[in-house]
Amino acid sequence: MNNSVDTVSRDAWATRAGFILAAVGSAVGLGNIWRFPFQVGQEGGAAFLLIYLLFVAAIGFPAMLVEFVIGRYTNRNPVGALAQLGRGLWGYVGWVFIATGFIILSYYSVVAGWTIRYTIIGLQDGYLADGAAAESQFLDVASGLDAIFFHAVFMAVVIAIVALGIKRGIELAVKLLVPAIIVISLGMALYAFTLAGASDAYSYYLSPDFGVIASNWTSILPAAAGQAFFTLSLGMGAMITYASYLEEDRNLAEDGAIIVGFDTAIAFVTGLIVFPILFTAGVDPADPGPGAIFVSLAAAFGDLTLGWLIGAVFFATVAIAALSSAISLLEVVVSYLIDEHDIDRVTATLAIGGGLFVLGLPSAWDLVLLDLFDGFADQILLVLGGLLLALFVGWKIPDLAVGELKKGIGPIDSWGTLWVWLIRVPVVIVLVISLALGILGYVEFLQDDFIPWLEG
């Protein structure tokens, strides 16, 4: 029996597959399909991919186990979990996760709304091959009343699923959504393999230039760390919350490896889809910015035979992936109200969902404001949350953490010691460096983009 005190009856996963698919669904989202390609393009192609994969294995997997043991041991949301285990300021660390999840979902829903609109565009009028026209089309979709409407549509769907609970809502949804993402992604990768630009795209995506790493490591390192945490749903409380619904006999290391493996594979496959399409259409993959993948891909689809259909399928897949992640982010904050304030699920979901919609309105109105929220969450809050949790588990409660990890695995003395020291030293060092560089990068964004926008 876990060392927690239940104030209300908590839900639980009906099956192991339900938990794994939910965690995979949380990890597989806009981070894989929207963010990952433009991060690869922006940070030097295969050079970024190599560092990102190293981060996932050496930092992401150990950090995921940290969140798992905290969640399962306490059966609590991030705030309740850290308040139960921590003393003094440590007891307040959970609020970092609540704030991160809240901020991310506010603009995440806006971007997900773009994917719905782009799916409809493909089925109605098709995509515009001309770059300038494609950019104008994106600006119409990405800001103003159009963006607000589809932000509202997406948030309404997320609210409906989370309000139904773990078994009838989240678990049922992910059992449909995640297999669909996998099947469609593999089919589109096979299609992309047949395109004329595939060979050059694979060279760009799979052959790292170590000179790029050496010259741009101050940019690549925080970007790779932020991407690894974003795509694995770490640092935002989702994995703590999902693990809090687990039974004690689950093998956390095995489940974590499966989740990390699926998430990384889908991100990798997304690159095999996107870059052949861009290279075939002659579009520069290094074009930066969160909207670039929409502009560039839409223009590329406009140049392809049956591009309207391929594009509609692609953007629909992105929308499905976004939904599977968004429900986990909403559940983080909803579980806090249920656990700590004894509020019923439907009321909590409606209240938080409504607040998220309002907070997302600035991001839906102007792209600079979306960048403001995204940079703060991705480069600072995600990494900060991961760093604080690593310090807490690695140095304050290592014996408790190893003991919880053993449940469902058996004796892991040497392996558990290795895990703790990975958390204590390399994970902490990398996250400290990434956080410092991320703060510097965010300050630069404020000076170069946000302040001129305010003054203009």
User: Tens of pLDDT along 116-171?
Assistant: 999 999 998 788 877 788 888 888 888 889 899 999 999 999 999 999 887 777 77
DSSP single-letter state for residue 248: T
Q: What pLDDT score does 23 carry?
A: 80
Looking at residues 312-334, what average pLDDT do you find?
A: 88
**10 lies in some domain:** no
Q: Is the pLDDT of residue 19 over 90?
A: no
Q: Report how far apart the first and last C-alpha atoms of the chain are (Å, whole number).
A: 59
Of residues 306 and 337, more confidently modeled: 337
Work out the pLDDT band at 443, boundaries 50, 70, 90: very high
Give the integer Cα–Cα distance in Å for 131 and 393.
49
Rounded average pLDDT over 234-242: 86
pLDDT tens per residue, range 382-429: 889 989 999 999 999 999 999 998 887 877 667 888 899 989 998 898
Predicted pLDDT of residue 41: 85
* Report for 189-203, 222-236, 246-260: range of highest mean pLDDT: 189-203
Q: Are 140 and 146 in contact (CB under 8 A)?
A: yes
The confidence score (pLDDT) of residue 103 equals: 92
**What is the pLDDT at residue 394?**
93
Distance of CA 132 to the CA centre of its chain: 30
CA-to-CA dists, residue 144 to 115, 156, 175, 362, angstroms: 15, 19, 34, 9
Least confident range from 234-243, 266-275, 292-301, 443-452: namely 292-301
Domain tally for the chain?
1
pLDDT-based confidence at residue 292 (cuts at 50, 70, 90): low
pLDDT band at 190 (very low <50, low <70, confident <90, very high): very high
Query: What is the average pLDDT value for the chain, to the nearest integer?
Result: 86
Flag whether 334 is in a domain.
yes
Mean pLDDT check: name the lowest of 159-173, 344-358, 432-446: 159-173
Condensed to tens digits (0 to 9), the pLDDT of residues 39-49 reads: 888 888 898 89
CA 320 to chain centre: 13
Would the pLDDT of 279 be above 70?
yes
Task: Compute the distance between CA of residue 224 and CA of residue 430 in angstroms, rounded to an integer.
Answer: 11
Q: In the structure, what pLDDT confidence band is assigned to residue 7 with cuts at 50, 70 and 90? A: very low
Residue 6 lies in a domain: no
Which tokens go with 13? 């996963």
**Where does 125-209 have alpha helices with state H?**
131-142, 145-163, 172-193, 198-206
Q: Do residues 119 and 312 lie in contact, with contact meaning Cβ atoms separated by under 8 Å?
A: yes
Q: Which long-range contacts (CB under 8 A, 24 or more apart) does 134-139 make?
A: 134/295, 134/296, 134/298, 134/299, 134/302, 135/295, 137/298, 138/291, 138/294, 138/295, 138/298
| Mean pLDDT, rounded, for 339-343 | 89
pLDDT at 249 over 70: yes
Which pair of tokens denotes residue 181? Answer: 């993402």
Is the backbone of residue 326 left (phi > 0), alpha (psi -120 to 50) or beta?
alpha
Q: Which two tokens stand for residue 146?
A: 């159009």
What six digits make up the tokens of 86?
Answer: 């921590």
Q: Residue 289: is its pLDDT beyond 60? A: no
pLDDT band at 228 (very low <50, low <70, confident <90, very high): confident
DSSP H or E stretch at residue 438: helix 428-445
Say how far apart CA 47 and CA 41 lie, in whole Å.
10
**What number is the average pLDDT over the span 276-305?**
78
Whole-number Å distance between alpha carbons of 322 and 427: 28
Q: What is the mean pLDDT of residues 172-189?
A: 85
| Residue 74 belongs to some domain of the structure | yes
Which residue in the block uniquely carries the two structure tokens 């060979």?
199
Give the residue ranges of DSSP H helices in 306-412.
Answer: 307-341, 345-365, 367-375, 382-391, 398-406
Rounded mean pLDDT of 63-91? 91
10-19, 73-82, 261-270, 320-329: which has the minimum mean pLDDT? 10-19
Name the percent of the chain lying above pLDDT 70: 95
What's the pTM?
0.84
Angle, in degrees to the nearest 10, between helices 172-193 and 252-280: 40
Residue 112 falls inside a structural domain: yes
Mean pLDDT of 96-124: 92
CATH of the domain at 303: 1.10.4160
Single-letter amino acid, residue 130: D
In a domain, residue 186? The reply is yes
Q: Is the pLDDT of residue 218 over 90?
A: no
Grade residue 10 by pLDDT with cuts at 50, 70 and 90.
low
What's residue 8's pLDDT?
Answer: 47
Domain-embedded: residue 11: no
In this prediction, residue 287 carries a pLDDT of 66
Report, as an integer, the average pLDDT of 285-311: 78
pLDDT of residue 158: 94
Contacts of 190 (CB under 8 A, 6+ apart): none
Query: Cα–Cα distance between 104 and 361 in angstroms, integer?
Result: 13
- A 10 A CB-CB count for 114 gives 29
Q: What is the mean pLDDT of residues 192-214?
A: 89
Domain span at residue 36?
A: 16-455
Residue 214 lies in a domain: yes
State which amino acid sits at residue 164: L
The Cα–Cα gap between 380 and 377 comes to 6
| Proportion of the chain above pLDDT 90, given as a percent | 34
